[in-house]
Chain A
Amino acid sequence: MICLSDKTILQELKLKKESAIHFMYREYFPTIVSMVRQNNGVYEDAEDLFQDGLMVLFDKISKGPLNLNCSLKTYFYSICRNIWLRRLERTRKMVYREEVEVNERTLLYSMREDELKEDYLERLRFLHDHFLRLPKDCQTLLLMFFDKVPLKEIALKMGVSGVKYIKTRKYACKNMLRKKIMNDPACQCYIFQNGETEDQ
């Protein structure tokens, strides 16, 4: 069984290495499950929360070095707890049950303005899930468009001759994704939470 130091985990997370994520699942996930279960959540909530916590952590380390004054596990727990608190506040499921230990941990982490917001994390998870279920060629095509790869190059990579086809295919892929999202019953909840979408 491989054990990774906090520094190694952060370095590997930044490189999106699955080994670090896997390690965090094994090492940190049970604590998150326990916290969620004690606070009116179920296992699936903990799964989502854990992913959201990872996204926040990744976003932070992508923007600059992270200076920790506690263990990564404690820091990560604080991130997740913070998200969970906000989620509970938003959904008004219950009033959070205060715990001395949890309060101590909260001091280690506070949300910043430029950070991924709790409701946006949920929306992002929803959109990512749908996008990653698109046919692989659609995923590649849309990403290439957003990377502003020249149309001729995209056509070459996709193995087609005409750029017109590439444009048509792009619109079709986008349409497919939009329809999948619109037909998902959770769409109303994630995309149109307040009647309209919000800007981050």
Chain B
Amino acid sequence: MIPHASVIFFKMERQKINEWIDRFNEGSLKGEDLNTFIQMLHDDPELRKEVAIDREINRMLEQRELLEFREAVLKAGKRPSPGRWRWLLLAAMVVVLLSAGGYFLFRTLPTRDVPAKDQLAERPVKTPGEGTVKELPAKPSKQAEKSQDATPHRKKVLLAEAFTPCPSLEHLVGETTRAEGIILLGPLPEITVRRGDTVQFSWRMSGKDSLKILFYDNQEQQILIAVPDAPDSYSFPTGSYHRGLYYWKFLKDDQLVTAGKIRCE
């Protein structure tokens, strides 16, 4: 007579069960061992699950080529692993803590300031020579005008505020229109760079239409209009701007091709 599964479980080493699961799915478990294991499966739903998962693992391992290809895909795309939500949550917490820290640091340093937009406009914008760049005169957004009215003092841009997404531009990020004859190869719609890095725009275009890249800060204030000279690339130098969130619109014949955002840290 075969004893009840739970009794067997307690008596049996885990190692033995692992072996039996493996051999059962391989088809090499025979005789009395097989009968005992079938009885255990009958009585224990968790063990049944384990066996089912093991079967799935075997099937996955048999498709070795797909596994190797997945590895290459993950390396190329740097996709987060199954625990990505935990990591994203952790990253979000770090960002919140840093933002809060930055905010309080700012509050405690009364003279600490970030260059205001009008000061930025006075700075020469470095371009690597392949694009003509027009620096616009400060054109404050409604939000900026409002805050200027309320506070006649020098405007302070808090670090955390500089990274607040702009709802009206945010929904455009990653959107592509049906503009024909042009493919934007880079950058990706959402990228993070260090301040001072250069963001490389590159595209493939048939024809000689006029291109423009418009840059905005997170207050929807236009900070730059770039008219690239080179037929297929433009470099955006972030060193001339303070840390924060920026948006760009890529236009062909004044028609939107695509848009994206740059997080400059």
Contact = CB atoms under 8 A, between A and B. Distances in A.
Q: Do A and B bind each other?
A: yes
A124 B66 contact: yes
Contact of B19 (A47, A59, A171): A171
Interface stretch (A27-35, A86-94, A106-114, A152-160): A27-35
A133 interface: yes
Most chain A CB within a 10 A radius of its CB, from B21, B50, B61: B61
A83 B144 CA distance: 45
Interface stretch (B74-82, B91-99, B106-114): B74-82
Interface residues of B, number: 52
Main secondary structure of the interface of A (DSSP, over half): helix
Contacts of A22: 76-77
B185 interface: yes
A166 to B, nearest CB: 13
Contacts of A168: 15
Contacts of A174: 18, 21-22, 54, 57
Contacts, number: 138
B213 to A, nearest CB: 16
Contact of A123 (B54, B56, B64, B82): B56
A133 B81 contact: yes
A16 B204 contact: no
A171 B52 contact: no
Contact of B49 (A27, A51, A130, A192): A192
A128 B53 contact: no
A47 B66 contact: no
Given A27-B183, A171-B15, A178-B54, A126 B82 contact: yes
Contacts of B186: 1, 26
Interface of A: 1, 3, 16-18, 21-22, 25-27, 29-31, 33-34, 37, 43, 47, 50-51, 54-55, 58-59, 62, 101, 123-133, 142-143, 146-147, 167-168, 170-172, 174-175, 177-178, 181-182, 184, 186-187, 191-192, 196-197, 200
16 contacts: A16-B72, A21-B73, A25-B77, A26-B186, A27-B185, A34-B175, A47-B79, A123-B56, A126-B82, A127-B56, A127-B57, A129-B81, A130-B82, A142-B61, A146-B62, A170-B22
